[in-house]
Structure 1
Amino acid sequence: MSAALIAFVTTFALVLAVELPDKTFVASLVLTTRFPWKAVLAGVSAAFAVQTLIAVGFGSVLTFLPDRLVSVIVGVMFGVGSAMLLREGFRTGDDGSHDASRGGAAPVSFRRAALTSFGVLFAAEWGDASQLATAGLVARSAQPLAVGLASLAALVTVAGLAVLLGRKLRTKLRPRLLQRIAGVVFAGFSLIAFGTAILG
């Protein structure tokens, strides 16, 4: 087995294992309950691609970024997302029955949904374990292309699974209820990030 193939398989398995129970999976799932799945998948995939390029390009340099600054940025992004979702979920004058009958997300442009998904996942992944692992594996294996492709493939796989689950949940529950749940989940992520910044 070639060094490149070993690096690819190792990286894919590691990143997949790290991200499946991580906030990346949950955030992608939650975004899919709010926005069209194609826009979410496009946005998060683009975010993963940029983050992977950064990790591969700079190697372990990312580990020198201040942890507190990273935590604050992540906290702000999730806080903004939580506020938007809760505002929609508790908006008066419309009980959401029309949306519920369609079993879909509230109307929103593809561009806006994709950009929102990109922003949330880009912030969430900055300095994340998978990004740092990618940088470390590049430095250790000297196989940047194999490591980068494997990391991106694993991240997109996780996002795809989350989007599939999110689509199924969206058709079973009322959109307003999903927005409220999503808002609370994002608020939780925001508090955890700010807590890390304060205590770290």
Structure 2
Amino acid sequence: MKLLTKTTLNFLSVTLFIFLFGILAFYFLLREQVDQNLNFELEKRKTSILNKLNTDDPINKIPPNPDERIVITPIDVSEDLPAVTYSDTLIFNEAQNRYVPFRTLGFLVTHNNQKLYVQIFKSMEESDLLIIRIFLILTVLVIVLIVSLLVMNRITLKQSWNIFYDTIRKIGKYDVNSHEQFALQESDIKEFNDLNAVIHSMTDRINSDYLNLK
């Protein structure tokens, strides 16, 4: 395997690892932020429902928003349920013939001496679609960035290593009997210039020893 190929593969491997880790971290952070926003909206809706119940209006007069469902269940006083719970669930939508994700807030309330368990279901469909769009856009941008960096890195390395390959080619064709001047290309890379200096020193010594032997 050529050093250029190995270097490119190493660069690609590290970049892909960082990309995958970054994408996963970004997804979970974005998911957490979206859940917090949904929880905040559910809390506001909870306050609205509690205010409505405190006016002694009938329970069935609490109108749901277009993207939510409200389920109020009378429960026995002896039932032990958490005061407040957040969860994710799937509800089958008969009109669309598929399951739709919902964020759920459940809480206890007492109305007219009746203990009630109220559940607010808020659709996560729009937020999930937004996350998918952001995720896809970010993925495309990162892929374009990786490809661009990979191409630029390969072009830069290839140009740099061309001088090295030229040096190898000239060493292979070097003939002590030849009267041609042994000249190597200069490079902006210190290591290659150091190598050329050592090779020049060796060829000068070889020429000197050859002339002395003659």
The verdict on a shared fold, with TM-score over 0.5 as the criterion, is no
TM-score by length of 2: 0.27
Q: Which has the higher helix share?
A: 1
Larger RCO of the pair (alpha carbons < 8 Å, separation 6+): 1
TM-score by length of 1: 0.29
